[in-house]
């Protein structure tokens, strides 16, 4: 057998197993795994002393997204270059249906944003904001014809994205029948709005009031309600960016009684805390995101949930806004409710989770792979093409150097945003090489791919 590329002498880490073997790549696919694979005519890349993972899959990103009166700093080019440098080879971004428009239009707009710019493979979820009865059939079409098999609904952001329980329930019933997945932003938007208006009336304008007006119980309540609605509709449910330990317990209880409920958390909820809102001046704005950062101690509950499978995925919710300039966080200098919500993280997900999880003794290397690649692929219709090291899978591979020490900084990151929430944090373990469908897109830590090298991934609907 002849290969185009042979990755030699690495330790292959999948979600379920660890083996020492070479990887033979032909064209865009993994062709064989084995000891001492023939190398004649092949490019040989040594992975001695290194680990080989399936490429990371980030199922929650916002690139080139208009939001909060401005647009995110990262577009599909800068965001996906940064993702590749961090070991992520596929993303699922959120296309948006605005009120009065059909779903198809939102999807077309997002295709235009990504095409020719994405440096890694990409797919879309569809954010639905307006679903009268006569628009529900569009959901079926997206699942059946367009490979867009998941829908995000919001229980928060009244007047922007929030939909009522009847709309949620209608969408859930439809999704049960069309084989898609409902993703939920679970925070009680009505309660939060009352708290925000009271805080502003009392003259509280600083960034920390963002967190004080979005309590953990508002997330736990919405999570419980979303699960109850999904249970009545008999549809699988995926809670996005889960931050609060109490919300996680709602998911755990649902799963224990056999409800197909799933949840992701994000590195910001594992590594940062509400103490970051106390930073001097306006610096707390860097951490204004929804749900907000939680009190110290909460993160240990989430780490426990990742280990025990109460949580199944770690994504980023990458949604970057600059601190300086008129188009970013500064919009809310005099009013915390006007600070664009979101933070960058598409580049640092694997670095942080490997260091805090694997080096920190909280996750096995296999569980790490499961959380950042395999389960995201399975839940969102990309497996086994993505998220696996099996022959036949796309040759999306990360050759990981477990000894490499990196100090995270805005001065060296690839994201087009002027701060890094983890500035100065040192981690051990980083990608040395990254392959996207057999082509090297990162070489010894340097981006060597190209904008436009990524392709759209049509996803399959739920099979069971």
Residues that bind ligand URP (CB under 6 A): 62, 185, 241, 289-290, 317, 319, 341-342
DSSP 285: G
From Zn ion, ligand URP, none, which one binds at residue 289 (CB under 5 to 8 Å depending on kind)?
ligand URP
Q: How far is the CB of 411 from ligand URP (least distance, A)?
A: 24
Q: Which stretch binds Zn ion (CB under 5 A): 162-170, 181-189, 201-209, 360-368?
A: 181-189
Instruction: Find the DSSP H helices in 202-327.
Output: 208-212, 216-233, 245-256, 267-271, 298-308
125 is a site residue for Zn ion (CB under 5 A): no
313-314 and 261-265 beta bridge pairing: parallel
- The residue from 8, 113, 185, 208 that contacts Zn ion (CB under 5 A) is 185
End-to-end CA distance of the chain: 37
Q: How far is the CB of 342 from ligand URP (least distance, A)?
A: 4
From Zn ion, ligand URP, none, which one binds at residue 433 (CB under 5 to 8 Å depending on kind)?
none
| Closest to 51 (Cα-Cα) out of 412, 426, 358 | 358
| Closest to 26 (Cα-Cα) out of 43, 9, 48, 46 | 43
From Zn ion, ligand URP, none, which one binds at residue 273 (CB under 5 to 8 Å depending on kind)?
none
Q: Which residue number places its CB atom closest to ligand URP?
A: 341
CA-to-CA separations, 208 to 201, 282, 318, 337, in angstroms, rounded: 15, 9, 21, 10
Angle at CA of residue 329, ends 112 and 284, nearest 5°: 135
From ligand URP, Zn ion, none, which one binds at residue 341 (CB under 5 to 8 Å depending on kind)?
ligand URP
Q: How far is the CB of 185 from ligand URP (least distance, A)?
A: 5
Q: How far is the CB of 43 from Zn ion (least distance, A)?
A: 38
Q: How far is the CB of 74 from ligand URP (least distance, A)?
A: 12
Nearer to ligand URP, 150 or 374 (CB): 150
Q: Which of residues 227-286 bind Zn ion (CB under 5 A)?
A: none
CA-to-CA separations, 406 to 53, 125, 262, 381, 426, in angstroms, rounded: 19, 32, 32, 33, 6
Beta-bridge partners for 44 = 6
| Closest to 243 (Cα-Cα) out of 259, 266, 226, 223 | 266
* Helical (H) or strand (E) element with 262: strand 261-265
Nearer to ligand URP, 153 or 389 (CB): 153
Is residue 53 within 8 A of residue 86, CB to CB? The reply is no
Nearer to ligand URP, 320 or 388 (CB): 320
Number of residues that bind Zn ion (CB under 5 A): 2
Q: How far is the CB of 100 from Zn ion (least distance, A)?
A: 22
From ligand URP, Zn ion, none, which one binds at residue 50 (CB under 5 to 8 Å depending on kind)?
none
Is residue 294 within 8 A of residue 242, CB to CB? The reply is no
Give the number of other CB atoms < 10 A from CB of residue 424.
Answer: 8
| Six-digit token string for 92 | 């699922």
Nearer to Zn ion, 75 or 317 (CB): 317
Is residue 131 within 8 A of residue 464, CB to CB? The reply is no
Alpha-carbon span 459 to 146, nearest angstrom: 8
Q: How far is the CB of 78 from ligand URP (least distance, A)?
A: 17
Nearer to ligand URP, 319 or 417 (CB): 319
Nearer to Zn ion, 185 or 294 (CB): 185
Nearer to ligand URP, 53 or 94 (CB): 94
Beta-bridge partners for 32 = 24
Q: Under DSSP, is residue 18 helix (H, G, I), strand (E, B) or coil?
A: strand
From ligand URP, Zn ion, none, which one binds at residue 342 (CB under 5 to 8 Å depending on kind)?
ligand URP
- The residue from 317, 330, 370, 401 that contacts Zn ion (CB under 5 A) is 317
Q: How far is the CB of 359 from ligand URP (least distance, A)?
A: 27
Q: How far is the CB of 114 from ligand URP (least distance, A)?
A: 18
Alpha-carbon span 28 to 162, nearest angstrom: 41
Which residues make up the interface to Zn ion (CB under 5 A)?
185, 317
């Amino acid at each position: 057998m002849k290969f185009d590329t042979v990755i030699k002498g690495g330790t292959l880490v999948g979600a379920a197993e660890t083996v020492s073997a070479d990887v033979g790549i032909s064209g865009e696919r993994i062709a064989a795994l084995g000891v001492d694979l023939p190398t004649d005519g092949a490019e040989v890349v040594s992975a001695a002393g290194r680990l080989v993972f399936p490429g990371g899959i980030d199922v929650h990103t916002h690139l080139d997204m208009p939001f909060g009166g401005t647009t995110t700093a990262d577009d599909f080019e800068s965001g996906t270059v940064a993702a590749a440098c961090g070991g992520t080879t596929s993303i699922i971004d959120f296309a948006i249906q605005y009120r009065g428009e059909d779903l198809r239009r939102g999807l077309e707009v997002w295709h235009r944003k990504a095409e020719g710019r994405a440096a890694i493979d990409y797919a879309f979820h569809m954010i639905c904001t307006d679903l009268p009865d006569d628009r529900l059939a569009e959901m079926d079409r997206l699942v059946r014809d367009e490979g867009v098999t998941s829908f995000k609904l919001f229980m928060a952001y009244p007047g922007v994205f929030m939909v009522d329980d009847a709309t949620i329930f209608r969408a859930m019933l439809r999704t049960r029948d069309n084989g898609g997945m409902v993703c939920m932003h679970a925070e009680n938007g009505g309660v939060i709005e009352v708290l925000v208006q009271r805080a502003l009336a009392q003259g509280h304008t600083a960034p920390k009031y963002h967190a004080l007006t979005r309590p953990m119980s508002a997330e736990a309540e919405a999570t419980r309600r979303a699960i109850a609605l999904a249970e009545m509709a008999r549809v699988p449910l995926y809670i996005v960016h889960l931050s609060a330990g109490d919300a996680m317990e709602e998911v755990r209880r649902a799963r224990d009684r056999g409800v197909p409920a799933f949840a992701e958390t994000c590195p910001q909820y594992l590594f940062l805390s509400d103490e970051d809102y106390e930073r001097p001046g306006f610096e707390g704005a860097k951490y204004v995101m929804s749900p907000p950062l939680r009190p110290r101690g909460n993160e240990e509950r989430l780490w426990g949930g990742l280990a025990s499978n109460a949580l199944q995925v770690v994504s980023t919710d990458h949604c970057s806004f600059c601190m300086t300039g008129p188009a970013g966080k500064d919009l809310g200098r005099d009013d915390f409710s006007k600070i664009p919500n979101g933070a960058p993280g598409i580049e640092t997900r694997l670095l942080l989770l490997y260091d805090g999880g694997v080096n920190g003794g909280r996750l096995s290397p296999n569980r790490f792979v499961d959380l950042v690649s395999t389960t995201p692929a399975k839940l969102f219709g990309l497996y086994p093409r993505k998220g696996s090291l099996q022959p036949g899978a796309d040759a999306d591979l990360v050759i990981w150097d477990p000894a490499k020490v990196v100090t995270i900084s805005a001065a060296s990151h690839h994201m087009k945003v002027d701060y890094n929430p983890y500035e100065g944090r040192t981690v051990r373990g980083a990608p040395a090489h990254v392959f996207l469908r057999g082509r090297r897109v990162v070489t010894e830590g340097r981006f060597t791919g190209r904008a436009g090298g990524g392709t759209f991934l049509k996803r399959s609907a739920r099979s069971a």
